[in-house]
Amino acid sequence: MSIVTNKELLERALEGHYAVASFNTNNLEYSQAIIQAAYELNAPVIIAAAKSEIDYMNGYAFVAMVRAIAGPLPIPVGIHLDHGPSYEEVVRCLRYGFTSVMYDGSSLPLSENIANTKKVVEAARACGVSVEGEIGVIGQASDGPEGPQIDSDMIGLADVDECERFVAETNVDAFAAAIGNAHGLYKRKPELRFDLLEQIRNKTNTPLVLHGGTGIPLEDIRKAITMGVAKINFSTVMRKGAIETLRNTLNDHPGELDYMKLLTPARNKMVEIAKEHIIMCMSDQKAWK
Protein backbone atom coordinates (compact mmCIF):
# COMPACT_ATOMS: atom_id res chain seq x y z
CA MET A 1 0.00 0.00 0.00
CA SER A 2 1.08 3.63 0.07
CA ILE A 3 0.51 6.97 1.76
CA VAL A 4 -3.21 7.84 1.66
CA THR A 5 -5.60 10.57 2.80
CA ASN A 6 -7.50 10.41 6.06
CA LYS A 7 -10.72 10.72 4.08
CA GLU A 8 -10.13 7.28 2.58
CA LEU A 9 -8.98 5.85 5.89
CA LEU A 10 -11.99 7.08 7.84
CA GLU A 11 -14.62 6.22 5.26
CA ARG A 12 -13.35 2.64 5.23
CA ALA A 13 -13.27 2.64 9.04
CA LEU A 14 -16.93 3.59 9.21
CA GLU A 15 -17.81 0.88 6.74
CA GLY A 16 -15.77 -1.69 8.67
CA HIS A 17 -16.96 -0.64 12.16
CA TYR A 18 -13.54 0.19 13.56
CA ALA A 19 -11.49 3.35 14.17
CA VAL A 20 -8.06 4.29 12.86
CA ALA A 21 -5.54 5.05 15.60
CA SER A 22 -3.66 8.30 15.16
CA PHE A 23 -0.35 8.72 17.00
CA ASN A 24 1.67 11.91 17.32
CA THR A 25 5.39 11.72 16.60
CA ASN A 26 8.37 14.00 16.92
CA ASN A 27 11.35 11.89 15.84
CA LEU A 28 12.62 8.81 14.01
CA GLU A 29 12.06 6.36 16.86
CA TYR A 30 8.43 7.39 17.38
CA SER A 31 7.73 7.08 13.66
CA GLN A 32 9.47 3.72 13.36
CA ALA A 33 7.52 2.36 16.34
CA ILE A 34 4.12 3.48 15.02
CA ILE A 35 4.68 2.06 11.57
CA GLN A 36 6.19 -1.18 12.88
CA ALA A 37 3.19 -1.73 15.17
CA ALA A 38 0.76 -1.13 12.32
CA TYR A 39 2.71 -3.39 9.99
CA GLU A 40 2.85 -6.25 12.51
CA LEU A 41 -0.91 -5.96 13.06
CA ASN A 42 -1.72 -5.39 9.37
CA ALA A 43 -3.53 -2.20 10.32
CA PRO A 44 -4.12 1.22 8.78
CA VAL A 45 -2.60 4.00 10.86
CA ILE A 46 -2.23 7.77 10.99
CA ILE A 47 1.04 9.45 11.88
CA ALA A 48 0.35 12.95 13.15
CA ALA A 49 2.38 15.94 14.22
CA ALA A 50 1.42 19.27 15.74
CA LYS A 51 3.12 22.54 14.86
CA SER A 52 5.74 22.30 17.62
CA GLU A 53 6.60 18.75 16.56
CA ILE A 54 6.82 19.73 12.90
CA ASP A 55 9.08 22.66 13.77
CA TYR A 56 11.30 20.31 15.77
CA MET A 57 11.64 17.72 12.99
CA ASN A 58 11.40 19.98 9.90
CA GLY A 59 8.27 19.32 7.87
CA TYR A 60 9.98 18.18 4.69
CA ALA A 61 12.23 15.80 6.65
CA PHE A 62 9.23 14.42 8.55
CA VAL A 63 7.18 13.64 5.46
CA ALA A 64 10.20 12.16 3.66
CA MET A 65 10.96 9.99 6.71
CA VAL A 66 7.43 8.62 6.93
CA ARG A 67 7.27 7.94 3.21
CA ALA A 68 10.64 6.17 3.30
CA ILE A 69 9.62 3.92 6.21
CA ALA A 70 6.00 3.25 5.29
CA GLY A 71 6.02 3.50 1.51
CA PRO A 72 7.27 -0.04 0.79
CA LEU A 73 4.90 -1.66 3.31
CA PRO A 74 1.48 -3.18 2.47
CA ILE A 75 -0.45 -0.96 4.87
CA PRO A 76 -2.22 2.39 4.35
CA VAL A 77 -0.69 5.29 6.27
CA GLY A 78 -1.92 8.87 6.60
CA ILE A 79 0.34 11.85 7.34
CA HIS A 80 -1.67 14.33 9.38
CA LEU A 81 -1.31 17.86 10.76
CA ASP A 82 -2.75 17.82 14.28
CA HIS A 83 -4.37 21.00 15.66
CA GLY A 84 -3.17 23.34 12.94
CA PRO A 85 -3.42 26.80 14.52
CA SER A 86 -3.74 28.89 11.35
CA TYR A 87 -4.38 28.93 7.62
CA GLU A 88 -0.70 29.67 7.10
CA GLU A 89 0.34 26.56 9.02
CA VAL A 90 -2.03 24.45 6.94
CA VAL A 91 -0.56 25.81 3.69
CA ARG A 92 2.93 25.11 4.99
CA CYS A 93 1.98 21.47 5.62
CA LEU A 94 0.37 21.17 2.19
CA ARG A 95 3.72 22.17 0.73
CA TYR A 96 5.49 19.59 2.89
CA GLY A 97 3.30 16.85 1.44
CA PHE A 98 0.89 16.02 4.28
CA THR A 99 -2.12 13.97 3.16
CA SER A 100 -4.45 15.34 5.82
CA VAL A 101 -4.65 18.59 7.76
CA MET A 102 -6.59 19.69 10.79
CA TYR A 103 -7.49 23.31 11.29
CA ASP A 104 -8.40 23.99 14.91
CA GLY A 105 -10.52 27.12 15.22
CA SER A 106 -12.51 25.74 18.15
CA SER A 107 -11.60 28.62 20.46
CA LEU A 108 -12.97 31.18 17.99
CA PRO A 109 -16.57 32.34 17.57
CA LEU A 110 -18.47 29.83 15.45
CA SER A 111 -18.81 32.09 12.41
CA GLU A 112 -15.07 32.80 12.38
CA ASN A 113 -14.22 29.12 12.84
CA ILE A 114 -16.48 28.25 9.90
CA ALA A 115 -15.03 30.98 7.67
CA ASN A 116 -11.45 29.94 8.40
CA THR A 117 -12.19 26.24 8.01
CA LYS A 118 -13.89 26.83 4.64
CA LYS A 119 -10.76 28.60 3.45
CA VAL A 120 -8.65 25.66 4.61
CA VAL A 121 -10.95 23.16 2.86
CA GLU A 122 -10.68 25.08 -0.40
CA ALA A 123 -6.88 25.07 -0.30
CA ALA A 124 -6.57 21.45 0.82
CA ARG A 125 -9.05 20.09 -1.72
CA ALA A 126 -7.06 21.73 -4.50
CA CYS A 127 -4.14 19.57 -3.37
CA GLY A 128 -6.15 16.38 -2.91
CA VAL A 129 -5.77 16.57 0.86
CA SER A 130 -8.49 15.83 3.41
CA VAL A 131 -9.51 18.20 6.22
CA GLU A 132 -10.47 17.75 9.87
CA GLY A 133 -12.14 20.52 11.83
CA GLU A 134 -13.00 20.98 15.49
CA ILE A 135 -15.87 22.48 17.42
CA GLY A 136 -16.21 22.77 21.17
CA VAL A 137 -12.97 23.37 23.04
CA ILE A 138 -11.33 20.10 24.07
CA GLY A 139 -9.52 20.87 27.31
CA GLN A 140 -6.43 19.58 29.03
CA ALA A 141 -6.77 16.73 31.51
CA SER A 142 -4.40 18.62 33.79
CA ASP A 143 -6.67 21.69 33.96
CA GLY A 144 -7.90 20.75 37.41
CA PRO A 145 -6.61 18.70 40.35
CA GLU A 146 -8.95 15.85 39.45
CA GLY A 147 -8.86 16.15 35.67
CA PRO A 148 -11.30 17.92 33.37
CA GLN A 149 -14.42 19.18 35.06
CA ILE A 150 -17.59 19.28 32.97
CA ASP A 151 -20.13 21.55 34.62
CA SER A 152 -23.86 21.04 34.47
CA ASP A 153 -24.22 23.98 32.08
CA MET A 154 -22.14 21.98 29.56
CA ILE A 155 -19.33 24.53 29.30
CA GLY A 156 -16.65 23.10 27.05
CA LEU A 157 -18.99 20.70 25.29
CA ALA A 158 -19.95 20.89 21.64
CA ASP A 159 -23.41 22.17 20.76
CA VAL A 160 -25.34 19.82 18.46
CA ASP A 161 -26.87 22.57 16.32
CA GLU A 162 -23.51 24.26 15.94
CA CYS A 163 -21.97 20.95 14.88
CA GLU A 164 -24.65 20.52 12.24
CA ARG A 165 -24.09 24.03 10.90
CA PHE A 166 -20.31 23.68 11.01
CA VAL A 167 -20.24 20.46 8.96
CA ALA A 168 -22.87 21.67 6.48
CA GLU A 169 -21.11 24.96 5.79
CA THR A 170 -17.49 23.77 5.79
CA ASN A 171 -17.88 20.35 4.15
CA VAL A 172 -15.01 18.93 6.22
CA ASP A 173 -14.08 15.27 5.79
CA ALA A 174 -14.05 14.65 9.56
CA PHE A 175 -14.44 16.67 12.69
CA ALA A 176 -13.70 16.53 16.39
CA ALA A 177 -16.41 17.53 18.84
CA ALA A 178 -15.86 17.99 22.55
CA ILE A 179 -17.95 15.41 24.44
CA GLY A 180 -16.12 15.41 27.79
CA ASN A 181 -12.74 14.24 26.52
CA ALA A 182 -9.47 16.07 27.15
CA HIS A 183 -5.81 15.99 26.20
CA GLY A 184 -3.23 14.65 28.64
CA LEU A 185 -3.51 12.28 31.60
CA TYR A 186 -6.90 11.90 33.25
CA LYS A 187 -6.84 12.00 37.05
CA ARG A 188 -10.20 10.22 37.16
CA LYS A 189 -12.29 8.27 34.68
CA PRO A 190 -13.48 10.65 31.95
CA GLU A 191 -17.23 10.97 31.69
CA LEU A 192 -17.93 10.95 27.98
CA ARG A 193 -21.32 12.28 26.89
CA PHE A 194 -22.48 9.47 24.65
CA ASP A 195 -25.93 11.00 24.39
CA LEU A 196 -24.30 14.09 22.88
CA LEU A 197 -22.15 11.97 20.59
CA GLU A 198 -25.22 10.17 19.26
CA GLN A 199 -27.02 13.43 18.54
CA ILE A 200 -23.97 14.86 16.76
CA ARG A 201 -23.57 11.76 14.62
CA ASN A 202 -27.25 11.81 13.64
CA LYS A 203 -27.10 15.51 12.71
CA THR A 204 -23.84 15.43 10.75
CA ASN A 205 -23.36 11.98 9.21
CA THR A 206 -19.62 12.67 9.02
CA PRO A 207 -16.70 10.64 10.41
CA LEU A 208 -16.06 11.77 13.97
CA VAL A 209 -12.72 12.13 15.74
CA LEU A 210 -12.07 11.51 19.43
CA HIS A 211 -9.15 13.49 20.80
CA GLY A 212 -7.51 12.74 24.13
CA GLY A 213 -7.64 8.97 23.74
CA THR A 214 -5.00 8.33 26.40
CA GLY A 215 -6.69 6.86 29.47
CA ILE A 216 -10.20 6.45 28.04
CA PRO A 217 -11.32 2.94 29.09
CA LEU A 218 -11.56 0.20 26.49
CA GLU A 219 -15.32 -0.13 26.84
CA ASP A 220 -15.78 3.59 26.16
CA ILE A 221 -13.44 3.50 23.17
CA ARG A 222 -15.39 0.61 21.69
CA LYS A 223 -18.75 2.25 22.41
CA ALA A 224 -17.64 5.48 20.74
CA ILE A 225 -16.64 3.50 17.64
CA THR A 226 -20.12 1.99 17.39
CA MET A 227 -21.48 5.55 17.42
CA GLY A 228 -19.53 6.94 14.48
CA VAL A 229 -16.04 7.69 15.83
CA ALA A 230 -13.63 6.68 13.06
CA LYS A 231 -10.36 8.21 14.30
CA ILE A 232 -8.95 8.24 17.83
CA ASN A 233 -5.91 10.29 18.81
CA PHE A 234 -3.20 9.01 21.15
CA SER A 235 -0.11 10.98 22.16
CA THR A 236 0.54 11.23 25.89
CA VAL A 237 0.57 7.46 26.44
CA MET A 238 3.37 7.05 23.89
CA ARG A 239 5.49 9.84 25.34
CA LYS A 240 5.00 8.59 28.88
CA GLY A 241 6.02 5.04 27.98
CA ALA A 242 9.07 6.15 26.00
CA ILE A 243 10.34 8.56 28.65
CA GLU A 244 9.86 6.12 31.54
CA THR A 245 11.66 3.37 29.62
CA LEU A 246 14.49 5.67 28.59
CA ARG A 247 14.91 6.86 32.19
CA ASN A 248 15.16 3.27 33.41
CA THR A 249 17.66 2.39 30.67
CA LEU A 250 19.85 5.36 31.56
CA ASN A 251 19.73 4.43 35.25
CA ASP A 252 20.61 0.80 34.51
CA HIS A 253 23.43 1.67 32.08
CA PRO A 254 24.94 4.97 33.26
CA GLY A 255 28.14 4.47 31.28
CA GLU A 256 26.53 3.52 27.97
CA LEU A 257 27.52 5.84 25.14
CA ASP A 258 25.85 4.03 22.26
CA TYR A 259 22.85 6.24 21.53
CA MET A 260 21.09 3.49 19.57
CA LYS A 261 21.33 1.04 22.46
CA LEU A 262 19.83 3.63 24.80
CA LEU A 263 16.90 4.42 22.52
CA THR A 264 16.05 0.90 21.35
CA PRO A 265 14.22 -0.17 24.54
CA ALA A 266 12.12 3.03 24.41
CA ARG A 267 11.28 2.40 20.77
CA ASN A 268 10.29 -1.19 21.58
CA LYS A 269 8.04 0.08 24.37
CA MET A 270 6.32 2.43 21.93
CA VAL A 271 5.72 -0.47 19.53
CA GLU A 272 4.03 -2.34 22.39
CA ILE A 273 1.88 0.66 23.33
CA ALA A 274 0.90 1.41 19.73
CA LYS A 275 -0.13 -2.20 19.16
CA GLU A 276 -2.27 -2.17 22.30
CA HIS A 277 -4.14 0.93 21.12
CA ILE A 278 -4.55 -0.26 17.54
CA ILE A 279 -6.22 -3.36 18.94
CA MET A 280 -8.39 -1.16 21.16
CA CYS A 281 -9.57 0.58 18.00
CA MET A 282 -10.33 -2.79 16.38
CA SER A 283 -8.29 -1.81 13.31
CA ASP A 284 -5.87 -4.74 13.45
CA GLN A 285 -6.07 -6.92 10.33
CA LYS A 286 -8.01 -4.13 8.57
CA ALA A 287 -5.35 -3.03 6.09
CA TRP A 288 -6.36 -3.31 2.46
CA LYS A 289 -4.33 -3.82 -0.70
Q: What is the pLDDT of the chain when averaged over all its residues?
A: 90
In this predicted model, which residue has the larger pLDDT, 214 or 145? 214
- Sequence-distant (6+) residues with CB within 8 A of 31 are 25, 47, 62, 65, 66, 69
Query: What number of other Cβ atoms are within 10 A of residue 265's Cβ?
Result: 16
Longest alpha-carbon distance in the chain: 60
Predicted confidence (pLDDT) per residue in 83-102, tens digit: 999 999 999 999 999 999 99
Is 55 catalytic? The answer is no
Predicted confidence (pLDDT) per residue in 3-39, tens digit: 999 999 999 999 999 999 999 999 999 999 999 999 9
pLDDT of residue 136: 73
Predicted confidence (pLDDT) per residue in 137-155, tens digit: 655 444 333 333 433 333 4
If we measure between CA atoms, which residue out of 35, 4, 9 comes closest to residue 20? 9
- Burial category of 19 from C-beta neighbours within 10 Å (exposed 0-12, middle 13-18, buried 19 and up): buried
Catalytic residue among 82, 104, 220, 284: 82
pLDDT of residue 256: 95
pLDDT of residue 143: 38
Q: Is residue 133 within a helix (H) or strand (E), and if so which, with residue range?
A: strand 130-135
The architecture of the domain spanning 3-280 is Alpha-Beta Barrel (3.20)
Predicted confidence (pLDDT) per residue in 151-202, tens digit: 333 346 889 999 999 999 999 999 998 887 666 655 566 778 899 999 999 9
pLDDT of residue 149: 40
- Give the span between the Cα atoms of 169 and 166, in whole angstroms: 5
Q: What's the pTM? A: 0.91
- Give the span between the Cα atoms of 238 and 245, in whole angstroms: 11
CB 260 within 8 A of CB 288: no
- Sequence-distant (6+) residues with CB within 8 A of 102 are 80, 81, 82, 83, 84, 131, 132, 133, 134, 176
